């Protein structure tokens, strides 16, 4: 379980750095689609280098339906990256980042619909998600109150 928590913290830190660098890229160096393309290419290279030993085994053992769902996931991930770069190009980072952080709410809703057999949604999870959303609202509203 600690590996999962550590990986989640690492992912949050990585997304925070990616958004900050993304804002710099879209305002100083390239349009959002160029930033998205480079981010996805370098992400693919990074993941390929990090996990190259597992790829042949995983490809042989993965069910065919899994490739479909990986493709769907990839399309949504790429769409999310592209939309994030467009948002960073159009709005301040301190607004985009909290709004981007509503993904726990979206995840909770989708998990409750599609993953009923795999994920158990508890009151504690719902409360935690609502706290995240409240934090996003406070950060976003305070941006306009100053």
Q: Where are the beta strands (DSSP E) in the chain?
A: none
Give the tokens for residue 118.
């795999």
Give the tokens for residue 8.
């989640």
What does the pLDDT look like over 8-61, one tens digit per residue?
A: 899 888 888 888 898 999 989 999 999 899 999 998 999 889 888 877 677 777
pLDDT score, position 78: 92
For residues 118 and 102, the answer to whether their CB atoms sit within 8 Å is: no
Q: What is the DSSP letter of 19?
A: H
Sign of the four-CA dihedral 36, 81, 17, 32: positive
pLDDT score, position 59: 73
Q: What is the DSSP letter of 46?
A: H
Q: Which residues have CB under 8 Å from 48's CB, separation 6+?
A: 55
pLDDT score, position 75: 93
Q: Compute, in degrees rounded to 10, the torsion defined by CA atoms 106, 110, 112, 114.
A: -170
pTM given for the model:
0.75
In Å, the largest CA–CA distance within the chain is 56
pLDDT score, position 111: 85
pLDDT at 142 over 90: no
């Amino acid at each position: 379980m600690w590996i999962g928590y550590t990986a989640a913290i690492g992912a949050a830190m990585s997304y925070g750095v990616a958004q900050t660098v993304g804002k710099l890229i879209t305002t100083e160096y390239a349009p959002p689609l160029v930033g998205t393309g480079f981010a996805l290419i370098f992400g693919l290279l990074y993941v390929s280098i990090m996990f190259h030993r597992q790829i042949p085994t995983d490809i042989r053992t993965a069910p065919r339906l899994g490739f479909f769902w990986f493709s769907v996931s990839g399309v949504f991930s790429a769409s999310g990256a592209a939309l994030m770069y467009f948002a960073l190009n159009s709005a301040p980072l301190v607004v985009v980042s909290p709004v981007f952080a509503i993904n726990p709410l979206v995840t909770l809703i989708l998990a409750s619909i599609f993953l009923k057999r795999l994920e158990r949604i508890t009151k504690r999870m719902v409360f935690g998600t609502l706290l995240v959303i409240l934090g996003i609202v406070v950060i976003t509203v305070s941006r306009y109150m100053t």
